Amino acid sequence: MPSVADRGMDFISIAVADSTRIHTQLLADAIRCESGIQVVASTSSSRELLAAIERVPVDVAVISFGLDDCAGRGPELLREMRSVRPQIKGVILLESARPQDVLESFRAGAKGIFSKHEKVENLCRCIRSVHDGQIWANSAELDHVLGALADSPLVRAANHNGLDLLSARERQVIEYLAAGMTNREIAKALKLSPHTVKNYLFRIFDKLGVSTRTELLYLTMSNPRPSASSNAHDSISSAFAAAESGNPSAHLLLAEHFSKVIASDGSTQDAVSAYMWYLLAEKTAAPLLDRIEEGKKNLTQAMSLDQIAEGESRAAEWLKNSKKKPSFAEENKSQTRTMFANP
């Protein structure tokens, strides 16, 4: 294989991944006949392709939409590859130009859409165009994209029914994200690769119109599905918002919330998250307690014993009366219990 130095600046390195090894080999052999294009990796497995881009430089990746015998795996893989090698440009191979497949491919960052029924020589032209920074698609495919843009609402998709846009696995990813878990921890819990988790987050961002993890968390927790547990979701959502501003009560509420999430085997599933929030509550409450003690000290220096006794009596009376009705914290705890009883 020629070295990078021997290839010259105009040499284009290609990775090819079609649905079967035979198709991949035929496609790679046909591309190799084109001058100035070098196939540096060819496989029918997403795992092998991800490993290949770690070993060799790739300019353009040509990927089947249905890689790994899974419809839509091609765009997902392209997202994963671009998270590792952002400079890679993607061409998605389609069996048919279904509008949803075209849109999914472009949303994943593809720069070219190519039908498997077209001539291979046109694919080489597509590769060169994409490598030069152009978009490759026929008029019908562009029409699908323009139509989708024209029909897209100007407001975010995450309204009161926003979570209905997400799959069960995507909602599961959000739940773990809300527990304070990293991508790697979520991947371990769901038995996925970290790249796949990152890909799920990209898809969730696209569906809900958000761009950061914090924005995603706040948006989804603030717009739960209508259910008997909606009040609990609202309280937890408010707690997340308050926690961001350093509210120790919010930290404590979240700690108690996650300490009650019980796994199917009876263990505390979110013990690490609960412990994290307890630590934060402790850290943020400490300065508050110092301020309370300092304030009391300054006041009592200018107060008589009778005034101090009256203040303590009023405080005791207030606490006595407040115990006759549920406190704000108790209501939140009750709502949290309801949420876990009615998942």
Residue 257 CA to residue 276 CA, distance in Å, equals: 12
What's the number of CA atoms in the CB half-sphere (13 Å) around residue 48? Answer: 17
Full-model pTM:
0.46
Residue 109 CA to residue 249 CA, distance in Å, equals: 42
Structure confidence by residue, pLDDT tens digits, 276-332: 778 877 887 777 777 788 888 888 888 888 888 888 888 888 777 766 544 444 444
pLDDT computed for residue 155 by the predictor = 36
168-178 helix and 194-208 helix, angle to the nearest 10 degrees: 100
Structure confidence by residue, pLDDT tens digits, 55-76: 888 999 999 999 988 888 899 8
**What is the homologous superfamily of the domain 8-151 according to CATH?**
Response regulator (3.40.50.2300)
pLDDT computed for residue 332 by the predictor = 46
Structure confidence by residue, pLDDT tens digits, 279-294: 877 887 777 777 788 8
Residue 44 CA to residue 63 CA, distance in Å, equals: 9
**Kind plus residue range of the DSSP H or E element containing 37:** strand 37-43
Instruction: Label residues 46-81 b or e (16+ Cβ within 10 Å = b).
Output: beebbebbeeeebbbbbbbbbbbeeebbbbbbbbbb
- Enter the CATH code of domain 156-226: 1.10.10.10
**Kind plus residue range of the DSSP H or E element containing 112:** strand 110-115
Radius of gyration of the chain (CA): 28
Q: Are 130 and 136 in contact (CB under 8 A)?
A: yes
CB atoms under 10 Å from CB of 114, counted, come to 24
pLDDT computed for residue 126 by the predictor = 93
pLDDT at 45 over 50: yes
Structure confidence by residue, pLDDT tens digits, 220-253: 554 544 443 444 444 555 556 566 666 777 777 7
Write down the domain spans for the chain: 8-151, 156-226, 228-343
